[in-house]
Amino acid sequence: MPLLDKFSSFLEERKQLLSVKPDIFGTKIEKMYSATEASIDGHKVLLAGTNNYLGLTFNKECLDAAHKAIDEEGTGTTGSRMANGNYSSHRELEKDLADLYHCNHCIVFSTGYQANLGTISGLAGTGDVLLIDAHCHASIYDGCKLSGAEIIRFRHNDPDDLSKRLNRLGDRAKSSLVIVEGIYSMLGDTAPLKEFVECKKQHNSYLMIDEAHSLGVLGDTGQGLVEVADVGKDVDFITGTFSKSLGSIGGYCASNHSQLDAIRYMSRPYIFTASPSPSNIASARAALVLLKEGKHLRENLWKQSNRLYAHLQNLGFKLGPEPGPVIAAQLETPEEALHIWTTLLKKGLYVNLIFPPASPQNMPLLRISISAAHDDKQMDFICNVFTELMNEK
């Protein structure tokens, strides 16, 4: 087959969707007004699809820290951590994150995607085994592929299925890494982490959790699911991102295993990528302080999340299994999903529209993410828009 011919069927299938304005696969944010408001297609809209869980993207402390870093350190490092891109601020943020998790070691990566890519491919290799939850993020799948290790997928949030697969490995379980997530980005459900910890202990395996969507959201100090489940000492590796609750860009892996530092010399995504810009690091450090002290932010986030989840449930939407800052409404067809998404946007509400294969169970999703910056008046608006939508059906 000629190189480009494989795109023909894909483009044909997407032709109708791609003709919709604004572009659903790359909605243009024309102007940002605040953490929760923007202009799209010439109209002011309320944002409920940003992953800005703590609403810190316009926080003054974060902005001031970013401005100061640009003035003092420039716009970028122009080098990898292995070359000239290893600034004091990178090391300081690594210490901040290690302290958050009561760990001895931490590595900062340029993105959350690369944190998973670099950590997994650095930890595992030929002869090792990676067991991953079926709903894991693409960055986890890609990290597994890059590693060259054997990949085994187990049923979503099913410790029994994981245990069966580890049993089949026998002694090879000692060379295995189990990977789960804190909050899953599509349906918003949490992992049964205590059960997974017991499973990995029973089989002498290792356990990694991606807290990308649970950092800042769960726990008294915002650590994530490891704090709620009180298993921080039993999880071997914790990865996460700055691009959600911290309102920046970058990623990390924290661990009490001293071998983590060896990844700096073995992980290609770490070695061959320019390090995060000083402004991103500075704003992330400022946000991390607010995250740890942000009990009031988490309280409002969960108040608004629980309210919207209950409201959508009462309207008859088929939702993910539990309330949280990620609320997913499962729909039957792409056409229905597209109609609802465009109708919501016309009414002044932006949410995410997700199609398979990115969405699980081969069903399109309306994916709504709540922010601590959403106030009661804005939540009234969101609820009213969905009520109007259902009344018009």
User: Contacts from 310-313 at CB under 8 Å and sequence distance 24+?
Assistant: 311/383, 311/386, 311/387, 312/386
**C-alpha distance from residue 137 to each of 142, 144, 304, 305, 358 (Å):** 9, 11, 26, 22, 9
Task: Using the predicted structure, report yes or no on whether residue 223 has a pLDDT greater than 80.
Answer: yes
pLDDT digits (tens, 9 = 90+) for 183-193: 999 999 999 99
Sign of CA dihedral 292, 294, 300, 304: negative
Q: What distance in Å separates the CA atoms of residue 253 and residue 239, rounded to the nearest whole number? A: 4
DSSP string for 283-304: HHHHHHHHHHT-HHHHHHHHHH
pLDDT digits (tens, 9 = 90+) for 37-46: 999 989 999 9
What was the pLDDT predicted at 335?
A: 87
Within a 10 A sphere around the Cβ of 12, how many other Cβ atoms? 9
pLDDT digits (tens, 9 = 90+) for 238-277: 999 999 999 999 999 999 999 999 999 999 999 999 999 9
What was the pLDDT predicted at 21?
A: 67
Higher per-residue pLDDT: 356 or 32: 32
3-state secondary structure of 237: strand
Fold topology of 7-54+295-391: Aspartate Aminotransferase, domain 1 (3.90.1150)
What was the pLDDT predicted at 18?
A: 59
CB 45 within 8 A of CB 348: yes
What was the pLDDT predicted at 372?
A: 98
Q: What distance in Å separates the CA atoms of residue 355 and residue 337, rounded to the nearest whole number? A: 9
Q: What distance in Å separates the CA atoms of residue 92 and residue 98, rounded to the nearest whole number? A: 10
Closest-CA residue to 241 (of 273, 194, 209):
209
Q: What distance in Å separates the CA atoms of residue 108 and residue 276, rounded to the nearest whole number? A: 9
pLDDT range class, residue 9, cuts 50, 70, 90: confident
What was the pLDDT predicted at 361?
A: 79
Fold topology of 60-292: Aspartate Aminotransferase; domain 2 (3.40.640)
Q: 357: which 2 tokens?
A: 């294969």
Which residue type occupies 381? F
CA–CA–CA angle 156, 162, 164 (5° rounding):
135
CB 240 within 8 A of CB 216: no
Closest-CA residue to 280 (of 71, 54, 65):
65
pLDDT range class, residue 19, cuts 50, 70, 90: low
What was the pLDDT predicted at 357?
A: 83
71's CB contacts (< 8 A; 6+ apart) are none
Task: Using the predicted structure, report yes or no on whether residue 17 has a pLDDT greater than 70.
Answer: no
Mean pLDDT of all residues belonging to the chain: 95
What was the pLDDT predicted at 5?
A: 86
Task: Using the predicted structure, report yes or no on whether residue 26 has a pLDDT greater than 90.
Answer: no
pLDDT digits (tens, 9 = 90+) for 269-302: 999 999 999 999 999 999 999 999 999 999 999 9
Query: Where do the domains of the chain lie?
Result: 7-54+295-391, 60-292
Q: 54: which 2 tokens?
A: 């703590």
Closest-CA residue to 130 (of 103, 119, 109, 359):
119
3-state secondary structure of 378: helix
pLDDT digits (tens, 9 = 90+) for 208-217: 999 999 999 9
pLDDT range class, residue 14, cuts 50, 70, 90: low
Residue in the structure block whose two tokens are 């088929």? 318
Q: What whole-number percentage of the chain has pLDDT above 70?
A: 97
What was the pLDDT predicted at 10?
A: 72
Q: What distance in Å separates the CA atoms of residue 288 and residue 293, rounded to the nearest whole number? A: 9
DSSP string for 9-21: HHHHHHHHHHTSS
